[in-house]
Homo-oligomer: A and B are copies of this chain.
Amino acid sequence: MPLDVEEITGAELAPLEHRCTPQTFILYALGVGAGVDPDDLRFCYEGPPGLAALPTFGTVPSLSTALSLLRLRAVDVTPMMLIHGEQHLHILRQPPVPGSLITRSKVKGVFDKGTGALIEVESETRDGSGDIIYTNVLGTFVPGEGGFGGDRGPAAGNEPPDRDPDRVIEMATLPQQALLFRLSGEVSPLLHLEQEHASRAGYEKPILHGICTLGFAGRAILREFCDNDPRRFASVKARFSGHVYPGETLLTEMWDLGGGEIVFRVRTRDRGAVVVSNAVAFVTA
């Protein structure tokens, strides 16, 4: 079997350093669609009143852990077999702007989803003084590698309540969104840029990165429930349940459950496909 579940579990991945300049944060913000609304300027410009990081920038230091899995002896699969399935980000502090971030990661576990295996990697990202800035759990789905008799893991949860959403925000992605987003992180280009690979996987054309779509949703939550103040955005958890074609318009539907708990979902406006599900953010007053 291409995955040696016993050996993978607990495996440590090589630590990663991210040197973040103002450009790093700006490029990410533009990559997830910021910069159209004048209120976005603080995420896209280092001039007065000063640059801030979008909350979901916190997912960036963990992104290359999916590709790092391929360097483990116990993981004998190709990049095409790895699908970014889930992400869970906690933001403990605002990152230094500019500054360095160090990320240490290890495999938390491998769940047996039947149709595939879900490899969870947990990461801690610290600044130069050792303070934890972000923690992430990144779930990579490996189709066809389930059925090994392992734990299924917890149910996803965070289903929307049975009523209309409290807020719906519409945001357009750009036809060139994937080209722009990928400049922010070490993410596989294959399905996202190459027509041949996308076609082989059954898509009409290259698809947007799920974690990019999550950045759009994060901006919607930040605007609607945090008054655009990133310090009020504590965490976000989501499942990437469908594909987005760059250029599609996204609807982020949000339900305020009280106590700072915002359940949300992202659909493509024209196809109506649910692309981010089982999703929740926690915000503070």
Contact = CB atoms under 8 A, between A and B. Distances in A.
Interface of A: 23, 26-27, 30, 34-36, 38, 41, 44-45, 47, 174-176, 179-180, 183, 189, 193-195
- Determine how many copies of this chain the complex contains: 2
Given A45-B189, A193-B47, A183 B26 contact: yes
A185 to B, nearest CB: 12
Given A27-B183, A183-B23, A183-B27, A175 B47 contact: no
B193 A36 contact: no
Contacts of A179: 26, 30, 35, 44-45
A184 to B, nearest CB: 10
Contact of A175 (B35, B45, B176, B194): B35
Q: In terms of DSSP, what is the predominant structure of the interface of chain A?
A: helix
Contacts of A47: 189, 193-194
B183 A45 contact: no
Given A23-B183, A38-B195, A195-B38, A176 B45 contact: no
A193 B176 CA distance: 22
Given A35-B175, A41-B193, A44-B179, 10 more contacts: A23-B183, A30-B179, A35-B176, A35-B179, A36-B176, A38-B195, A45-B179, A45-B193, A47-B189, A47-B193
Contacts of A189: 45, 47
- Name the 7 nearest CB pairs between A and B, nearest first: A35-B176, A35-B179, A36-B175, A44-B179, A45-B193, A30-B180, A36-B176
A37 to B, nearest CB: 9
A126 to B, nearest CB: 25
